[in-house]
Amino acid sequence: MKKIIFIGTPEFSVRPLVSLFNNEDIDVGLVITGEDKIRSRNNFEPTPVKQKALELGINVYETNNLNSMESLKIIEDINPDYIVVIAFGQIIGKKLLETYENRIINVHSSLLPKYRGAAPMQWAILNKDEKAGVCAMLIERKMDTGDILDCREINLTPDTDISELHDKLSELSSELIVDTVLHYDERFANRIQQDDTKATYSQKINKEMGHISFDEKAEDIKAKIMAFSVWPSTYVNYEDKKMKIHKINIIEKYTNNELGEVFKVDKDGIFVNCKDKCIVIKEIQMPGRKKVDIKTFLNGNTIKENVILS
């Protein structure tokens, strides 16, 4: 029986936690997660990992400082064989790394050394990669640089959005981490050192990155919509309002209208030329309104032709 401590916070970490808990050869002795967040006055929201751990009857320790003396003492009392870290968002300090050297396993949602950093799934979509994946790795002082124990990968298509990729990689992580814990000695003996010369870094996503410019190529615009469909969403400016764009089709250009100019609006969409092709906007969302398809939106609303979406 392998005893572990599981450390994680968001929804991405829930499937791996459940898979570890359900394996009869693994004992999840403790779950460590972030503290509840204040959503409104006297309204606290637990992390997804905490919610699931309590459902499963696992002891939970909440902390916003994993490296405090209290946290270290609680971990020491459990005396785990391994510590599993998946999407926790806090730095693992020197003391913890030294005490559990080569026994802290992290799952990172990219095919390392590609996309070290904060937003690897979004950047895999933005860069129109053909594959994405997850790697089990050892944690060391530098971010996402540890030796790789094992990896899993999936194929991507131009229609893979961030929600689909998130769920697939979370499921893939659950398979990977169970296998890694159960066969750790073998995985450790065959670990692979990352080649830093091939490393790339995934910049943190911000709201401004959701802006669409029609001097971009059509496939780049679509990739941005797929990558940012959950947050921050993609948008253009229409009559001093932010119009979110949720779905497009791409067709060949057949007019010479200015880039970003709305030259046709009907039940099939809003037609706008971009750098290389024509974008047909199929689903939009105006401020304070729900996401709708164009046919529904045009029942009682209008989109003016010959205006520039900027």
Which tens digit of pLDDT belongs to each residue from 253-302? 989 999 999 999 999 999 999 999 999 999 999 999 999 999 999 998 89
Taking only the tens place, the pLDDT of each residue in 196-240 is 999 999 999 999 999 999 999 999 999 999 999 999 999 999 999
Task: Give phi and psi for 241, each to the nearest 5.
Answer: -125, 150
Taking only the tens place, the pLDDT of each residue in 121-131 is 999 999 999 99
Q: In this structure, are 153 and 302 located in the same domain?
A: no
pLDDT grade for 79, boundaries at 50, 70 and 90: very high
Angle at 266 between CA 262 and CA 268, to 5 degrees: 105
Average pLDDT, the chain: 96
Q: In this structure, are 132 and 254 located in the same domain?
A: no
Q: In this structure, are 147 and 291 located in the same domain?
A: no
For residue 132, which of 171, 105, 106 has the smallest C-alpha distance?
A: 171
The answer to whether 54 is annotated as binding is: no
Angle at 158 between CA 285 and CA 298, to 5 degrees: 25
SS (H, E, C) 154-203: EECCCCCCHHHHHHHHHHHHHHHHHHHHHCHHHHHHCCECCCHHHCCEEC
CA dihedral (246, 250, 251, 255) in degrees, to 10, reads 60
Q: In this structure, are 262 and 115 located in the same domain?
A: no
Beta bridge partner(s), residue 246: none
For the segment 86-107, the average pLDDT, to the nearest whole number, is 96
The DSSP line for 109-147 is SSSTTTTEES-HHHHHHHTT-SEEEEEEEE--SSTT-SP
Write down the pLDDT at residue 300. 85
Write down the pLDDT at residue 43. 82
Please, what sign has the CA dihedral across residues 246, 252, 257, 258?
Answer: positive
Q: Are 238 and 245 in contact (CB under 8 A)?
A: no
d(CA 125, CA 234): 14
CATH number for the domain harbouring residue 166: 3.40.50.170
pLDDT tops 90 at residue 108: yes
Q: In this structure, are 175 and 287 located in the same domain?
A: no
Q: Which helix (H) or strand (E) holds 69?
A: helix 69-78
For the segment 21-49, the average pLDDT, to the nearest whole number, is 92
Q: In this structure, are 230 and 293 located in the same domain?
A: yes
Taking only the tens place, the pLDDT of each residue in 160-177 is 999 999 999 999 999 999
d(CA 178, CA 25): 10
Write down the pLDDT at residue 243. 97
For residue 149, which of 106, 105, 177, 191 has the smallest C-alpha distance?
A: 191
CA dihedral (113, 114, 117, 123) in degrees, to 10, reads -170
Q: In this structure, are 197 and 253 located in the same domain?
A: no
The answer to whether 112 is annotated as binding is: yes
CATH number for the domain harbouring residue 269: 3.10.25.10
The answer to whether 111 is annotated as binding is: yes
d(CA 89, CA 73): 20
Q: Which domain does 293 fall in, by range?
A: 210-308
pLDDT grade for 38, boundaries at 50, 70 and 90: confident
Taking only the tens place, the pLDDT of each residue in 117-159 is 999 999 999 999 999 999 999 999 999 999 999 999 999 999 9
The answer to whether 120 is annotated as binding is: no
- What predicted TM-score, i.e. pTM, was given to this entire model? 0.95
**Which one of 202, 219, 251 terminates a domain?**
202
Q: Which amino acid is at 108?
A: H
For residue 233, which of 84, 142, 91, 122 has the smallest C-alpha distance?
A: 122
Q: Which amino acid is at 279?
A: I
pLDDT grade for 19, boundaries at 50, 70 and 90: very high
For residue 139, which of 92, 184, 186, 95 has the smallest C-alpha distance?
A: 92
**Which one of 202, 224, 245 terminates a domain?**
202
Count of domains for the chain:
2
Q: What is the pairing mode between strands 26-33 and 82-86? A: unpaired
Q: In this structure, are 13 and 56 located in the same domain?
A: yes
pLDDT grade for 37, boundaries at 50, 70 and 90: confident
pLDDT tops 90 at residue 34: yes
Q: In this structure, are 227 and 159 located in the same domain?
A: no
pLDDT tops 90 at residue 41: no
Write down the pLDDT at residue 42. 72
Write down the pLDDT at residue 44. 85
For residue 183, which of 193, 194, 175 has the smallest C-alpha distance?
A: 175
**Which one of 150, 173, 202 terminates a domain?**
202
User: 256: which 2 tokens?
Assistant: 């010479």
Task: Give phi and psi for 94, each to the nearest 5.
Answer: -60, -45
User: 111: which 2 tokens?
Assistant: 């095919």
Q: In this structure, are 197 and 214 located in the same domain?
A: no
Write down the pLDDT at residue 246. 98
